[in-house]
C-alpha cells in the first residue's frame, strides 16, 4: 500500500522553500567585527595559514565534513537514464540522508557529462573543495572505470555507493546467515541474477569473505555468464566460467545463496525449493518488487533466510545503513581512500549490531514487539541510532590499521563523541525543518 500520493510527493518537494536542502552559516555575522573576520580582511589569516600548511584546510574550512554527491543521471534507481537535471531531486535526497544520519554536509554535483574521462577530469578538479566523493547513479560499465580512475588520481575517499553500499549491507546479512546456518563460505554455491555495478561489487566482496570463484554463477539479461559468450564486457568477463548453465533454474539447484539485482519475478517457488537443504540464503533486491516475494520464498522454504529492498519485510537491504557512517568514519580519521578492509569492517559492524536486541524505539517504529538476532533479523534497521557508533568507529579503525588515515583517533573517545554529535545535529536539522514545515 502506497505511503503517499503523487501530489503529496510533489508538494513535499515544492512547498515553501523549493527542494530539500539549503546552505546556512555556522558562524555569527551580526557585527562589523564578525563581518571583517568572515570575509575581508580577517579571512586572509586563514588563507595564509593554509597556504603555508595545506593540512590546515581541515582546521579552518568545512572541507573535512563536506562530500560531493556526483552524478550524470545515467542510471537513476528505478528510472534509468533520465539525465542530470531530472536526477537532481535524488541527489538532493542523498544529501538529506547524509546529514540526518551521519551529520555529513553535501553539495550535489549534477554533471551534463557522459564521457567517462571528462567526468573524471571535472570531478578531480573539485578535490580542493571536498573531503570525499560519493559517485551516484552512473551507469555500468562506465561507473567501474570512473571509480577506479578517480581512486588512483585523487587523495580523498572516492566511493560509488550503487556498487559498494549494497555489497556491504548484503555482506553483513550473509555473515550472520552463515553463522545461523553453519555454512562455510569456501564451500557454498552462490547464484547471482544481475551483472551490473552492484552485482559485481557484491560478488567481489563475497569473494573477499571466502566464497570461491568456481562456486559462483552470474546471470545477465542474456543468460549465464560463461566463456562461450562473445558479448561480455571486461567487467563481466571476470566472472565467466568454464561451466555453462542453460538457465537460472538449473543453476539454483543445490545453491546455498541467491542474490538478485535484476528484475521482479525471475525466481519461482520451485527454484527456491530446489536450493540447498540447510537454510538457503536469499537476497532479492530488485526494487520496488523483488525477484521473488518474501511470502513466496517463505512458503517454498520456511527455513530460508530472506532479505529484500523493501522496508515492509524483514532484513531490508538499505544502503542508508552504510554510506553516511562509512563517510563519517573516513572523514573523521582523514582517510585518503575507502579500502576493501574498511568495507568489510563496515559489514562486520552491521552484522555485530544485528546480534544485539534492537532498542524499543526501533521496534515501535516498525510496529513489532521485539527484534532479536535470528533468520528474520540478520540486518539491523535503518532507524537504529547506534549505527553511527558501530559502523563509523569500525571504518576509522580499519583505516588506521591499513595506513590510509591522516589522523590517529582514540576510538573510545571517538565513539563517545559520535552519539553526542548526531544528537546535536538532529536538533539543528529539526529546528530548520520546523521552520519550513508548513503542514507537509
Grid coordinates standing for 295?
511470502
pLDDT of residue 23: 87
CA–CA dist 288, 432 (Å, integer): 31
| Contact (Cβ atoms closer than 8 angstroms) between residue 391 and residue 172 | no
Task: Choose between 361 and 428: higher pLDDT.
Answer: 361
Assess whether pLDDT exceeds 60 at residue 150: yes
Q: How high does pLDDT run on average in the chain?
A: 94
pLDDT of residue 439: 54
Per-residue pLDDT band at 436 (split at 50, 70, 90): low
pTM of the model: 0.93
CA–CA dist 95, 106 (Å, integer): 5
| Contact (Cβ atoms closer than 8 angstroms) between residue 80 and residue 196 | no
Domains of the chain: 23-162 (3.40.50.10380), 163-410 (3.40.50.720)
Assess whether pLDDT exceeds 90 at residue 76: yes
Per-residue pLDDT band at 185 (split at 50, 70, 90): very high
Strand partners, 218: 192
User: Which range is least confidently modeled, 132-146, 283-297, 301-315, 421-435?
Assistant: 421-435
pLDDT of residue 22: 87
Give 219-268 pLDDT, tens digit per residue.
999 999 999 999 999 999 999 999 999 999 999 999 999 999 999 999 99
Give just the sign of the alpha carbon dihedral 88, 93, 94, 98: positive
| Averaged pLDDT, 388-417 | 97
Candidates 429, 421, 374; CA nearest to 393 is 421
User: What percent of the chain lies above the pLDDT cut of 70?
Assistant: 97
Cβ neighbours of 235 (radius 10 Å):
16
Active site residues: 39, 94
| Contact (Cβ atoms closer than 8 angstroms) between residue 108 and residue 69 | yes
Grid cell 547513479 is found at: 137
pLDDT of residue 24: 86
CA–CA dist 393, 328 (Å, integer): 9
CA–CA dist 82, 247 (Å, integer): 32
Give 389-398 pLDDT, tens digit per residue.
999 999 999 9
Question: 80 phi and psi, to 5 degrees?
Answer: 80, -145
| Contact (Cβ atoms closer than 8 angstroms) between residue 159 and residue 197 | no
Give 188-209 pLDDT, tens digit per residue.
999 999 999 899 999 999 999 9
pLDDT of residue 56: 97
Q: At what angle do helices 161-181 and 323-332 cross, to 10 degrees?
A: 110
270 assigned to a ligand binding site: no
142 assigned to a ligand binding site: no
* Torsion angle of the four alpha carbons 93, 308, 385, 11, in this order, in degrees rounded to the nearest 10: 30
| Contact (Cβ atoms closer than 8 angstroms) between residue 11 and residue 440 | yes
Assess whether pLDDT exceeds 60 at residue 91: yes
CA–CA dist 117, 60 (Å, integer): 32
pLDDT of residue 16: 85
Give 99-111 pLDDT, tens digit per residue.
999 999 999 999 9
pLDDT of residue 375: 95
CA–CA dist 231, 431 (Å, integer): 54
137 assigned to a ligand binding site: yes
318 assigned to a ligand binding site: yes
pLDDT of residue 288: 84
45 assigned to a ligand binding site: no
Amino acid at each position: 500500500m502506497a505511503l503517499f500520493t503523487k501530489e503529496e510527493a510533489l508538494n513535499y518537494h515544492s512547498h515553501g522553500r523549493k527542494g530539500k536542502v539549503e546552505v546556512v552559516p555556522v558562524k555569527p555575522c551580526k557585527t562589523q567585527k564578525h563581518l571583517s573576520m568572515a570575509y575581508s580582511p580577517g579571512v586572509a589569516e586563514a588563507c595564509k595559514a593554509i597556504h603555508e600548511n595545506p593540512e590546515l584546510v581541515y582546521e579552518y574550512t568545512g572541507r573535512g565534513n563536506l562530500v560531493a554527491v556526483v552524478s550524470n543521471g545515467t542510471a537513476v534507481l528505478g528510472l534509468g537514464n533520465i539525465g542530470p537535471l531530472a536526477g537532481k531531486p535524488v541527489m538532493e535526497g542523498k544529501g538529506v540522508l547524509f546529514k540526518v544520519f551521519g551529520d555529513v554536509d553535501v553539495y550535489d554535483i549534477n554533471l551534463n557529462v557522459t564521457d567517462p574521462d571528462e567526468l573524471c577530469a571535472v570531478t578531480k578538479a573539485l578535490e580542493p573543495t571536498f573531503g570525499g566523493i560519493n559517485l551516484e547513479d552512473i551507469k555500468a560499465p562506465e561507473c567501474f572505470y570512473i571509480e577506479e580512475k578517480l581512486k588512483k588520481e585523487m587523495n580523498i575517499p572516492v566511493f560509488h555507493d550503487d556498487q559498494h553500499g549494497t555489497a556491504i549491507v548484503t555482506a553483513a546479512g550473509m555473515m550472520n546467515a552463515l553463522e545461523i546456518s553453519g555454512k562455510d563460505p569456501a564451500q557454498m554455491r552462490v547464484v547471482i541474477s544481475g551483472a551490473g555495478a552492484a552485482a559485481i561489487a557484491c560478488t567481489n566482496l563475497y569473494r573477499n569473505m571466502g566464497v570461491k570463484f568456481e562456486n559462483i554463477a552470474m546471470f545477465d539479461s542474456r543468460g549465464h555468464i560463461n566463456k562461450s559468450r562473445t558479448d561480455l564486457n571486461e567487467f563481466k568477463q571476470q566472472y565467466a566460467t568454464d561451466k555453462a548453465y542453460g538457465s537460472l533454474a538449473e543453476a539454483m539447484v543445490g545453491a546455498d545463496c541467491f542474490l538478485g539485482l535484476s528484475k521482479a519475478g525471475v525466481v519461482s517457488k520451485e527454484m527456491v525449493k530446489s536450493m540447498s537443504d540447510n537454510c538457503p540464503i536469499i537476497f532479492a533486491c530488485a526494487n520496488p518488487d523483488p525477484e521473488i516475494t518474501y511470502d513466496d520464498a517463505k512458503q517454498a522454504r520456511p527455513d530460508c533466510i530472506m532479505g529484500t529492498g523493501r522496508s515492509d519485510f524483514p532484513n531490508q537491504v538499505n544502503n542508508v545503513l552504510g554510506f553516511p557512517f562509512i563517510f563519517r568514519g573516513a572523514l573523521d580519521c582523514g582517510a585518503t581512500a575507502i579500502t576493501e578492509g574498511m568495507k568489510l569492517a563496515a559489514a562486520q559492524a552491521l552484522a555485530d549490531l544485528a546480534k544485539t536486541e534492537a532498542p524499543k524505539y526501533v521496534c515501535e517504529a516498525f510496529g513489532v514487539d521485539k527484534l532479536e538476532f535470528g533468520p528474520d533479523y540478520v540486518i539491523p534497521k535503518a532507524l537504529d541510532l547506534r549505527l553511527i557508533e558501530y559502523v563509523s568507529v569500525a571504518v576509522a579503525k580499519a583505516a588506521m590499521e591499513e595506513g590510509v588515515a591522516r589522523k590517529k583517533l582514540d576510538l573510545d573517545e571517538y565513539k563517545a563523541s559520535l552519539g553526542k554529535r548526531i544528537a546535536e545535529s538532529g536538533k539543528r536539522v529539526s529546528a530548520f525543518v520546523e521552520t519550513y514545515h508548513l503542514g507537509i
